[in-house]
Structures are given as C-alpha cells and as structure tokens.
Homo-oligomer: A and B are copies of this chain.
Amino acid sequence: MQIEKLKTTLINCSLEEKDILKYKYKVQDIHQTLPQFDLTGWIDSPIQNQQELLDSIDRVASEIRACADVLVVIGVGGSFLGARAIQEALKPYFGLAEHGIEVVYVGLNMSGAYIKELLSYLDKKQVYVNVISKSGGTMEPALAFRVMRLYMEDRYGEKASERIIVTTDVEKGILKGIADKAGYRQFVIPSNIGGRYSVLTPVGLLPIAVAGVDIRAIMAGAKQAAEELSESDLANNDAYKYAVMRHMLYQEGYSIELLASFEPGLNKFHEWWKQLFGESEGKEKKGLYPSTVNFSTDLHSIGQFIQDGSPIMFETLLHFHEIEGDLQVPFDERDEDGLNYLSSRTFNEINAISKQGTALAHAEGGVPVIQLELPKLDEYHLGYLIYFFMKACAMSACLLEVNPFDQPGVEAYKRKMLELLKEK
C-alpha cells in the first residue's frame, strides 16, 4: 500500500513559497549533519528489517490478550504518551477494540488515589504488567513498579514473573538489573533512540498490539514516511516544509503553535505531539509553545480567543479525508428544530464543512493556518504522521539551533525533588 504524500498547505498566511525555499541550503546542511547527533537511531529504524522484532512483539501480545483482562503499562513521558496516543486514536469511543484488551497506564503521576483505586480495580481482573523505562531510575514509574511488582507476586506467586514484561535498555540500568535477576522477559529500548522518539520501538508497539492495533500497518506507514522524507531537497520534503513554515512564523513573532484536529479520538495524540515539540525545542529561552485544540468542541471554548484574542498564535490543522464510522442525520417529519435540510448529510460530512467554516473564520480573524492533509485516519497513516512529526521536529529544533534530543530542564525538577526527599 502506498498513500498519496502527506500534503502541507498554507491557508491565510503571509509566507510565500519562494521565501520558504530560501531555506533550501540551510535545510540541506542540517539534513546531512542530523545523523551525527546522538539519539538519532529513529531516523532509519523504520526502513530496517524488523520482522523478527514484530513477530516477537505479536507473540507476547497474543499471549497477554489470551491470559489477561488488563495490561498495566508503567511509564512516564515518552514511555507512555506514544502508545496511549495511538491506542486512543484507533480504539472505539465506547468499549474496547474487537481484538484488544484493556490497557491502563500507571506510574505517570504520583496520585495516591489513582494507584490505590487501580489496585482494587485489578482485583477482579486477570493482569499482565509492562514496565517501560530506559534506566528504571525515574521516580514515578519506579514507585509504581515497586507497588505493582509486589502486587503481582502477592496474587500470582512464582507465576508473577511470567506476567511481568520489561521494556528497557539492552545492558545497563536499575530496571535491567531487576529484570535479569528475576528472569522477566525483556524488550529492548534501542540505546540510540530517546524517549519522545521511541513510539515506533517496543516502547509503543507492545502496548498498542495488546490493545488490538495492527502494528505492521503502523510500521508500514512509518516506513513509507522514512523513505519519502529522507529526501534532502526542501521542495520535495513536506516534513521539512512544515518545519521551515513554523520556524518562519516563529521568527515573525508568533509565540504559540496550536495543533488542531476535528476528531475527539486524537486528544491523546495531541499530548504526544506536545511532548515531542515542547521537549525538543523548549530550551535556551527559545521555542514555539505547543498547545492543542480539539474542534468543534473547543470552538465553543478557547475558539473565542483564537478568533479575536491576542494575535500570538498560528494553527496547524490535521485534516483526515476519511474517518471510519459515521451516521446519517435522521429525517424527522416534525422538523421542529428545522434541521431536515441536513438529513441527506452524515455527521462526518458536516464535520468537514465545519472544518472549512473554521478556516474561513480564522482567516477573517487573521490567524495563519498550516494544513496537514492525510487520506485516512487509520494505522497506516498514523504511522506515517508520527514519523513525519519526528522528522519535522528534529529539523525545526536544528533551525532554532537547539539540540532536538536532550532535555536538561526535566532534570532540574528531578534533582530538586530528590534533594527534598532525601533531606526530610
């Protein structure tokens, strides 16, 4: 399967194609030096042969689906945002996917109520655990794993070790040590891929396979993206075009990029995107603040601000032409609401028209819009889009002259907290 290329279009924006293309040589330079950064294993990994890895993920996922009602994923930041994003985008709004089981996330916060209530909830279910951490040293997942490990041993005795799957570094770290000693099955987080670029590794793939998502379709979409977006010429690389556009808008003085979509299932995908761009670019007192909206819901909320408030933002609009699942507006002979004129339409058709209405309204309000168009919201195109954003983000951070792959500011909070904890 091949998709039409992702299309990047500017709507109501002063940027001109010829000015964008002035970045041609700068982009080419960055393209060539990018692989010299640490943590750029994600650039080529979707092109490599990963059949063996995918087979082994599928085998474990089948086992989990057969033996458990719930998979408890333990992870924070890049160790859960990607899996949750894909899972939520593709699962039904009510209930579970046909071939999937429930996946719940823990170790992503330090709420006592959250983890306590999770344990009672699990008591009536059969459980597997997938703990995901490169080092095992981050406080939130480490504490949650301590709780879940004792819980599993208490419930399943010696069999607990068969129900705990570890996704961690290949050779070092606390979690690796624990897993080796206890004989837990392990998946490897490649040492050359950082947290927020790791969704296409076992970090993301095992949980979403358990949830019933076709991981081969995800990877096929990512592979197409990796091939197409290996193009060094800005004119032929839409990820780089998007990176240059957002960079130019930043240079023009915009402070906020608002990622917008019209499908409620994409809310968690937005959260993944926020980490990717916020953590990659937000350093050295620079960067576009990444914020997100889900329309049409948020048109009745923050929509007022976008339309008429401080003119500090531009909008990046995700537009999927085809969405699975739809309903025709029913005919009602009473027509007391006066909506019979829509009864030949479906909700998705009206949603698409509301998309156009929004773009027109925002044009009037003076908000630049970058539209990213994809044929369909499914596994394949989400895989494509994820790679697209990772590649664009790396380019964009380099245009900003910051390292796309470190996060010194996250360490500041971890350090302060540890000092306080050890003090008291």
Contact = CB atoms under 8 A, between A and B. Distances in A.
Contact of A327 (B112, B297, B313, B422): B112
A11 interface: no
A66 interface: no
B287 A302 contact: no
Copies of chain A in the complex: 2
Contacts of A95: 117, 121
A211 to B, nearest CB: 16
A147 B327 contact: yes
A412 B365 contact: yes
Most buried by B among A119, A291, A324, A361: A361
A209 B405 CA distance: 48
Interface in A266-314: 271, 274-275, 278-279, 281-291, 294-297, 299-313
A255 B254 CA distance: 11
B339 A300 contact: no
Interface in A322-351: 323-327, 329-330, 332, 336-339, 341-342, 346-348, 350-351
Contacts of A92: 113, 117
B255 A282 contact: no
A118 B93 contact: yes
A110 B412 CA distance: 42
Contact of A357 (B118, B356, B413): B413
B309 A278 contact: yes
A358 B302 contact: no
A372 interface: no
Most buried by B among A116, A301, A338, A408: A301
Given A309-B287, A351-B111, A410 B278 contact: no
Interface in A91-149: 92-95, 104, 108-121, 136, 138-140, 142-143, 145-147, 149
Contact of A308 (B117, B143, B285): B285
Nearest to A336: B178
A183 interface: no
Interface in A144-176: 145-147, 149-150, 174
A236 interface: no
A116 B121 CA distance: 28
Nearest to A145: B337
A53 interface: no
B287 A336 contact: no
A392 interface: no
A285 B302 contact: no
A296 B110 contact: yes
Contact of A304 (B116, B136, B347, B407): B407
A424 interface: yes
